[in-house]
Amino acid sequence: MTEKSIGLIELSSIAGGFLAADTMLKAANVRLLLSRSICSGKFMVLIAGDPSGVKSAVNAGVEAADGCVIDSFVCNNIHPEVIVALGRSSVAPPEGPLGILEAFSVTTLLQAADAAVKRAPVHLLEIRLAMALGGKAFVTMTGDLAAVNDAIAAGRELIADAGMLVNAVVLSRPHPDVYRELI
C-alpha cells in the first residue's frame, strides 16, 4: 500500500459535500474511499494518498465548501489495517476476544482505530462510519486478550480525551453468534 495518509471532511450540506469531493479529487492525486450522505443530514468525504496530496486536497475541499464544514482532519502515517477495515464488506469469522470502540465522531473514531492498531497487534475487523448509526462510528477488532485490552485502552483514551466516547467494550469469549452478526 502506498497510501500513507487519510483525510476526511464532514459537512452540514449534501450539495456542499459533492462540491468538496469534486474539488478534493481535482486538487491532488488522491483516492476517494468514501463520499456519501450520513445520518443527521450530513455528508462525509474520505480520501487516501500521500501526506502532501491528502493535505492539499483536504485544504482545497474545506475552502470550496465555505461555511458547510463541521469537521476535517488529516491523519498521516495511517496504519494499513485502518484502510483495509474501511473497505471491508465481509469479514472472515474470527475467533478469540472481540473489542469494540464507539464514538460520537467519525474523525475521532478513525484516529482511535489507528492508535489502537499501532499500540497492540490486533486485527481490525471493520470500521463503520455514521451510516444508520445516528452519526456515530465504531470499530471492531480481535487478537489475543492482552492485545485487545491494550488496543481498546489506547482508543478509549483518545476518544475520551476528545469528549466523544460512547462506549468501549472487550468481550473475552464472545458467543459465536456475536461474531456471526459482524458479517
Please write the tens of the pLDDT for every residue from 60-90. Answer: 999 999 889 988 999 999 998 898 888 775 5
* Average pLDDT score, the chain: 90
All structural domains of the chain: 5-76 (3.30.70.1710), 80-180 (3.30.70.1710)
Give residue 183's pLDDT band: very low, low, confident or very high (50, 70, 90).
low
Number of C-beta neighbours around residue 59 at 10 A = 17
Give residue 155's pLDDT band: very low, low, confident or very high (50, 70, 90).
very high
- pTM given for the model: 0.86
The pLDDT tens digits of the residues spanning 123-144 come to 999 898 877 667 788 999 999 9
Who has greater pLDDT, 15 or 38? 15
Strand ordering across the sheet containing 165-171: 123-129, 137-142, 98-103, 165-171
The pLDDT tens digits of the residues spanning 82-111 come to 988 887 755 666 678 999 999 998 889 999
C-alpha radius of gyration, the chain, whole number: 16
